[in-house]
Amino acid sequence: MYDVGIIGGGPAGYVAAEHAAQKGLKVVLFEQKKLGGVCLNEGCIPTKTLLYSAKLYEYAREASKYGIAVSGVEADFGKIMERKNKVVAKLVAGIAASLKKYGAEVVNKKVTIAGQKEGMIQLQTDEQMYACKNILICTGSEASIPPIKGIESATFLTNREILSLTQLPNTLTIIGGGVVGIEFASFFATLGTRVTVVEMLPEILGGLDEEISVMLRNELSKKGIVFHLNARVTEIKGNEVIFEKDGKTESVTSSALLMSVGRKPVIHGFGLETLGVEIVRGAIKIDSHCRTNLPNVYAAGDVTGFSMLAHTASREGDVAINNIAGYKDTMRYQAIPSVVYTHPEVASAGLTEQECKKQGIAYKIAKLPMTYSGRFVAENEGKNGLCKIIAGQRYGEILGVHMIGNPSSEMIYGASMAIECQLRVKELKEIVFPHPTVSEILKETIFEL
Amino acid sequence: MATAVIMPRQGQSVETCIIGEWLKKKGDAVKAGDVLCTYETDKASFELTAEAEGILLEIFYQAGDEVPILSTIAVIGQPGENVESFRTSIPGEEKSAQESKKTEEKSPSSPAGEKDTPSPSVPSIAEGATISPRARKMAEQLGIAWQTIKGSGPSGRIIEKDVLEASETQPRMTPLARQIAEETGKIPVSTQGPGGMALHTDLGDAVYPASDEFEDKKLSNIRRLIARAMHESLQQSAQLTHHMSADVRKLLAFRQECKKAMEQGNSNANITINDMICFCVIKALKTMPEVNAHFLGDVQRFFKQVHLGIAVDTPRGLMVPVVRNAGNLSLLQLSIQIKNLADACRKGSIDPALIQSTAATFTVTNLGNYGVEMFTPVLNLPQVAILGVNTIIHRPADTGNGVWGFVPFIGLSLTYDHRALDGGPATLFLREIKNNIENWNEKIE
């Protein structure tokens, strides 16, 4: 008998399993593929590994700007992919070791929910039945494939297959200009692929601050990426993607096609139906304690369809375990950081200006170019960026922080902390930032408020 | 030469007056006879007129201040004249300065030199309890909803130690939540922030209202006196109440006769049920002198005359004027006197000597007109008993010869001081009143 059975070993599931074991709960984690889930095997980690290679390649090519003469710079696609595999393998092994260390049982098998019996949920593998007081569903998500004409016979890649390419494609068309599409666009364009992005919305990276999205798009255009905005794909004919834009039909032909229009929760194929868990718009509905409509069934991560980010998933898993262990914990989404690991990086946390307007929140705003940071100027020859801080009009509480410029990804946690703790401009002005760092841009911008 | 404006004496018993409103302000030119301000005693409001001509050079007391009589409250003179010599002669000011100094010394949280916030501007959290400025500052720094803290200082005042203790058990608030809590008076009702911190969304309806949701008013003199008298009465005596009711058919019939006589122009005697009850009470008091008495600790004072106190509700508060030598009055005389006294109270023209609690030997308070069926009147010390008169209720009763019907009964609630009177005599006294009511035999004069 287990205190908690966890289905899915991604960032929600494995973090939950670790924390559950640390708290002394008897926990079993089921993962039929590799530990780490999409994030570690097909998402965050492999793409960041690739993007780092691309960034080094770019630095090497631009080294002369910094007084370094480098010749014969070459990107070896095969070796880049090889290193990516090595990094992933190392981290997967690390998770397994960590779970073992804390005493969480891991079952590398497919599991099915068989039903409830005497208050226990029965989880069935081909060998054994596991009786669990609680279960935590962390089955994640998969790339969603839109019903475009000709898609059945088309050859396309998703985030999974594109990571297994052995040769750099000459041309790449990406349907969907979200985070996944834009990061791959940045990577392949840097290595020399001619990339075209077809986005249905008026701007890439929907949900991000519009001003920053535009700045990033302009930077990426300099790498040769072609963007088609407001473009609705109507048909795929072999290598040709046909789309409508401004009432006209256009098409783009490429050697590879990436489908990155979004992701959908995995709610089928493991017996979820037997429990009667409430599903809303294809995702498991949870409350602020990550509990479903059933008292002993929890869900965390992409399967909840709410914020499809690995770090959200991990925190949700943590919240679920805390509640199972009897500590009341609440999931908060208002300060979840969001990062695009392009070069330059984009990072944000909290509300955007557009969201403030939509929600009728009175706000004030301050923004400064990244060049106000000495460190940024020293390390980003000829580059610029932006730091934008949104605060409540009346109390000056930090509502949102949006940045473009390296290394925004490493600085955004500070904004999350400020938003989570509801710090005001007043408090932040009293915080000492290390000098010289790019993070000082936050302090400089705060003083503009 | 500058002239002092003095708070006049109003009757022998009045020690302080409260300034109502200043009609002239500092710097105004005034003529003799101009109304400078209004002030009130426990019984009435008066106007204070200027006795000299000149400029109102200084005002020492503001509206709402309680001022000892004969204090200098303002100065009239010519521009440039020194007013400071008048200021020093204010006995009340010296006294209050001394008192506040004493408070500062007593309160460990208010070190000398720190300016204390005047109590009216501090939202009160319990009866009379406040927070020391120092503790308040600490509460704000720690993000503690101090309104919920129980104070351990003098009079329940919240001191630093209380805030520190509370900080260990109360949720911390985020800076935003804290600011909003301070502005709205809301308090954390849940904790959904990091580490159990309360977010602004965790703030809920305040147990104590925000400062813009109430108004603090200084007590009027009469309210102060009532508060003190009532509190002392309950603290210092052993009072309890017996309830009994009396058949009032005869009183009602007499009341009808009076009305009829008035209608026919045969009489001016508008005798009310209350007048009749008082008459019955006086009659009973004459037969039971132990009730017509004051309890004075070591001695009981038995009165040879009945001086009947009548509780009167006035817009300014409760007053109890006394009908002196009531035992010598006819029913009509009594009725007229009661009406006159009540009118004087309502107009504020009552002689202060007649509303002293020591002036009456017994008191009647009537809530029957308001439909009250039973209550426990509070003794007007040092009197040993007080009768509460209730409303008339029809009850089933034997109307004679085994015939049952509904009969009007009036409720009588006698509160007495058990230190002075035992239950037996108290009950006998009630019975005596009941008998007088039920055997009413007066004639219209």
Which single residue is written with the structure tokens 């009981």? B300
Q: What does pLDDT average to over chain B? A: 83
Find the closest chain A residue to B199 by CA distance.
Answer: A422
Domain identity same for A179 and A240: yes
* Average of per-residue pLDDT across B239-254: 95
Number of CB atoms found within 10 A of residue B299's CB: 8
- List, in order of start, the domains of chain B with CATH numbers: 3-96 (2.40.50.100), 113-213 (4.10.320.10), 222-438 (3.30.559.10)
Picking from A329, A351, A363, A422 by the largest number of B CB atoms within 10 A of its own CB, the best residue to mutate is A422
Contact (Cβ atoms closer than 8 angstroms) between residue B437 and residue B251:
yes
Residue A171, domain CATH:
3.50.50.60
Most B CBs within 10 A among A421, A427, A428, hence the mutation to make, goes to A421
Q: Do A424 and B177 touch (CB under 8 A)?
A: no
Residues A329, A319 contacting (CB under 8 angstroms): yes
Tell me the shortest Cα–Cα distance from A416 to chain B, in angstroms: 11
Residue B90, pLDDT > 50, answer no
Separation between Cα atoms, residue B395 and residue B399, nearest integer Å: 11
With DSSP H G I counted as helix, E B as strand and the rest as coil, what are the percentages for chain A, rounded to 5? Answer: 35, 25, 40
For A197, phi then psi, to 5°, come to: -110, 125
Q: With beta carbons under 8 A apart, name residues in chain A contacting B177.
A: 422
Residue pLDDT, tens place only, A26-55:
999 999 999 999 999 999 999 999 999 999
Q: Collapsing DSSP states into helix, strand and coil, what is residue B173?
A: strand
Token pair of B385 as six digits: 């008993």
Min Cα separation B200/chain A (Å): 8
Q: What is the largest CA-CA distance in chain B?
A: 92
Give the angle subtended at the CA of B342 by the CAs of B339 and B344, to the nearest 5°: 110
| Interchain pair A423, B176: CB under 8 A | yes
CB contact under 8 A, B192 and A423: no
Closest listed residue to residue B387, CA positions, set B304, B284, B302, B318: B284
Q: What angle do CA A340, A341, A347 make, to 5 degrees?
A: 45
pLDDT band at B212 (very low <50, low <70, confident <90, very high): low
Contacts of B283 (CB under 8 A, 6+ apart): B432, B436
Q: Do B194 and A395 touch (CB under 8 A)?
A: no
The two tokens of residue B409 are 């009964």
Give the HSE-up count for residue A189: Cα atoms under 13 Å, Cβ half-sphere: 23
SS3 state at A83: helix
CA distance B210 to chain A (A): 18
- For chain A, the distance separating the N- and C-terminal CA atoms, rounded to the nearest angstrom, is 56
> Smallest Cα–Cα separation from A18: which of A109, A88, A95, A121?
A95
What ipTM is given for this predicted complex? 0.77
Q: How far is B415 from chain A (nearest CA, A)?
A: 56
B contacts of A421 (beta carbons < 8 Å): 174-175, 193-194, 197
Return the structure tokens found at A70: 């480098």
* C-beta atoms of B192 and A330 within 8 A: yes
Name the CA radius of gyration of chain B, rounded.
Answer: 29
pLDDT value of position B211: 61
| Closest Cβ opposite residue B176 in set A288, A330, A397 | A397
What does the pLDDT look like over A129-179, one tens digit per residue? 999 999 999 999 999 999 999 999 899 999 999 999 999 999 999 999 999
Q: How many domains does chain A have?
A: 3
* A292 within a domain of the structure (yes/no): yes
Chain B nearest-CA distance from A424, in A, is 7
Same domain, A345 and A312: no
d(CA A206, CA A227): 14
B370: part of which helix (H) or strand (E)? none
Are A346 and A418 contained in the same domain? yes
Of A76-90, B82-96, B200-214, B352-366, the one with minimum mean pLDDT is B82-96
A297 with A384, same domain: the answer is no
- Tokens matching residue B75: 């100065």
Catalytic (active site) residue A435: yes
Shared-domain flag, residues A234 and A92: no
Q: Which residues in chain B have Cβ-Cβ distances shorter than 8 Å to A427? A: 175
Which structural domain, as residue segments, surrounds residue A425?
Answer: 338-446
Contacts of A422 in chain B (CB under 8 A): 174-177, 193, 199-200
B289: phi then psi, degrees, rounded to nearest 5: -60, -20
Pairing of strands A27-30, A105-107: parallel
Is A266 strand, coil or helix? coil
pLDDT for A136: 98
Q: What sign does the dihedral A31-A35-A41-A43 (CA atoms) show?
A: positive
Which residues in A lie closer than 8 A to residue B202 (C-beta atoms)?
none
Q: Which residues of B touch A413 (CB under 8 A)?
A: none
- The SS3 call for residue B406 is strand
Residue A369 has pLDDT above 50, yes or no: yes
pLDDT, residue B114, reads: 37
CA distance B172 to chain A (A): 11
Cβ pair A332:B192 closer than 8 A:
yes
A-B C-beta contacts closer than 8 Å: 33
Average confidence (pLDDT) over B16-29 = 86
pLDDT of residue B160: 82
A149 located within any domain: no
Question: Quick check: B193 and A422 CB within 8 A?
Answer: yes
Is any Cβ of chain A less than 8 angstroms from the Cβ of B353?
no
**pLDDT over 70 (residue A314):** yes
**Residue-wise pLDDT tens digits, A260-281:** 999 999 999 999 999 999 999 9
Q: Which residues of A touch B176 (CB under 8 A)?
A: 392, 395, 397, 422-424
Residues A117 and A202 occupy one common structural domain: no
Q: Which residue of A has its CA nearest to B180?
A: A395
- Residue after which a domain boundary falls, among A301, A324, A347: A324
B80 falls in which pLDDT band (50, 70, 90)? confident
| The token pair that represents B77 in the structure block | 């003179």
From the list B357, B412, B411, B414, the residue with the least C-alpha distance to B230 is: B357
Contact across the interface for B175 and A392, Cβ inside 8 Å? no
Q: What are phi and psi for residue B177, nearest 5 degrees?
A: -60, -40
B371 inside 8 A of chain A by CB:
no
Give the dihedral of Cα atoms B219, B225, B229, B231; nearest 10 deg: 10
Is there a single domain that holds both residue A14 and residue A126? yes
State mean pLDDT over B53-60: 89
Answer yes or no: are the C-beta atoms of A434 and A373 closer than 8 Å.
no
Distances (CA, A) of B15 to A182, B53, B70, B320, B380: 86, 28, 9, 19, 21
At A27 the pLDDT is 97
Query: What pLDDT does B209 receive?
Result: 58
Of A274, A301, A324, the position where a domain reaches its end is: A324
From B170's Cα to the closest Cα of chain A, the distance in A is 16
Give the whole-angstrom CA distance, residue B381 versus residue B320: 12
**Closest residue in chain B to residue A428, using alpha carbons only:** B175
Q: Show residues of chain A in contact with B174, CB under 8 Å.
A: 421-423
- How close A303 comes to chain B (CA, Å)? 23
- Residue holding tokens 């058919």? B249
Contact B175 A332 (CB under 8 A): no
List phi, psi (to 5°) of A235.
Answer: -160, 150
Phi and psi dihedrals of A138, rounded to 5?
-135, 50
Give the whole-angstrom CA distance, residue A384 versus residue A379.
Answer: 11
Q: Are A447 and A426 in contact (CB under 8 A)?
A: no
Inter-chain touch B174–A395, beta carbons under 8 Å: no
Residue A215 lies in a domain: yes
Q: Which 8-state DSSP code applies to residue A120?
A: E
Tokens of A270: 């493991």
User: What pLDDT, on the 0 to 100 scale, is given for residue A43?
Assistant: 92
**pLDDT band with cut points at 50, 70 and 90 for residue B106:** very low
Residues 6+ apart with CB under 8 A from B95: B68
User: Considering only CA atoms, which of A422, A430, A429 is closest in space to residue A392?
Assistant: A422
Q: Are residues A134 and A272 in the same domain?
A: yes
**Cβ contact (<8 Å) for B176 and A424?**
yes
Within this chain, do residues A26 and A110 fall inside the same structural domain, yes or no?
yes
The DSSP string of B30-49 is E-TT-EEEEEE-SS-EEEEE
pTM: 0.61
Q: What is the CATH number of the domain that holds A359?
A: 3.30.390.30
Residue A413 to residue A422: CA distance in whole angstroms: 14
Quick check: B176 and A288 CB within 8 A?
Answer: no
Q: Which residues of A touch B179 (CB under 8 A)?
A: 395, 424
Cα separation of the two ends of chain B = 64
Inter-chain CB proximity A420 and B175 less than 8 Å: no
Q: Residues 154-213, chain B: which have Cβ within 8 Å of A?
A: 174-177, 179-180, 192-194, 197, 199-200
**Are A301 and A315 in the same domain?**
yes
Q: Over the stretch A399-417, which tens digit does the pLDDT of each residue have?
A: 999 999 999 999 999 999 9
Which of these three, A237, A261, A285, is where a domain ends?
A261
Same domain? A179 vs A287: no
pLDDT at A195 (0 to 100): 98
Residue B194: its chain A contacts at CB < 8 A? 420-421
User: Touching check for B140 and chain A: CB below 8 Å?
Assistant: no
Which residues fall within 8 angstroms of residue A193, CB to CB, at 6 or more apart?
A168, A169, A170, A171, A172
Query: Within a domain: residue A34?
Result: yes
Q: Considering A19, A311, A343, A435, which one is annotated as catalytic?
A: A435
A211 and A312 in one domain? no
Q: If pLDDT is split at 50, 70 and 90, which confidence band does A74 have?
A: very high
State the pLDDT at residue B242.
Answer: 96
Average pLDDT over residues B322-327: 93
Q: Inter-chain contact A422–B176, Cβ cutoff 8 Å?
A: yes
Q: Does B136 touch chain A (CB under 8 A)?
A: no
Here the tokens at position A431 are 């915080």
